[in-house]
Amino acid sequence: MGTSFKINGEEINLNLKGDHQVYNAAMAYAVLQNFNLNTKEINDAINNTEFTKMRNDCIKLKKIKLLDDSYKSNPQNLKAAIETLLEDKDPKRHILILSDMLDLGDNSKQLHYMVKDFLTDEIDLVLATGNESKEIIRGAKEVLGENKAIFFESKKELIHSLKELILEGDYVLVKGSRAMKMEEVVDYLKENF
């Protein structure tokens, strides 16, 4: 699972999903060319880079596919993560499990609400927890409908509901700011799906 693109007719293959990763790789390609490396050496260098855990990490589990992007969240990288999730047309359903995007300042509630602008009818279910995430759910209900967006008062409550809400064949994105510790949701999914 990855992304491919061409620079000057040379194909570059990434071990990462997401069109937004092309920009990062293109910059790396430009820098590595200054070291007189050929395309194979550049491909190897880019694909042998050790990536930070919990960032755009696509994991195939027994029953579902998981996009673990739980390291941090802001509106721009949430949009990119949703786009990455939707690039895969195979799953039965696309599911978002979200939490607060912290440190957004005075416009935080509005920025959470505006997540609705990133949602399309390809999103089957939005689950969220965290005080600011109430606004994500408010916007999601407007776009997707009342029954496709659920707010949970606590992460524990959200986790306990996953066995009933997540189905075999789903592709699930987990995302939230670092302090929200969404890796706990990821760990539950890894253990149970």
What pLDDT does 159 receive? 98
pTM of the model: 0.80
What pLDDT does 51 receive? 62
Instruction: Please state, in angstroms and as integers, the Cα–Cα distance from residue 34 to each residue in 22, 129, 159, following that order.
Output: 19, 46, 48
> Closest by alpha carbon to 150, among 90, 97, 187, 93?
97
Say yes or no to pLDDT of 149 above 90: yes
The answer to whether 174 and 70 have CB atoms below 8 angstroms apart is yes
Mean pLDDT score, 129-148 = 98
Q: Is 127 exposed, middle or buried (0-12, 13-18, 19+ CB in 10 A)?
A: buried
What pLDDT does 45 receive? 78
pLDDT digits (tens, 9 = 90+) for 150-168: 999 999 999 999 999 999 9
Q: Is 69 exposed, middle or buried (0-12, 13-18, 19+ CB in 10 A)?
A: buried
pLDDT digits (tens, 9 = 90+) for 33-52: 888 888 888 878 777 766 66
Domains and CATH numbers, the chain: 3-47 (no CATH), 57-192 (3.90.190.20)
pLDDT digits (tens, 9 = 90+) for 13-37: 776 666 667 777 788 888 888 888 8
pLDDT digits (tens, 9 = 90+) for 106-138: 999 999 999 999 999 999 999 999 999 999 999
What pLDDT does 48 receive? 72
Tokens of 116: 């609705």
What pLDDT does 54 receive? 54
pLDDT digits (tens, 9 = 90+) for 72-100: 899 999 999 999 999 998 889 999 999 99
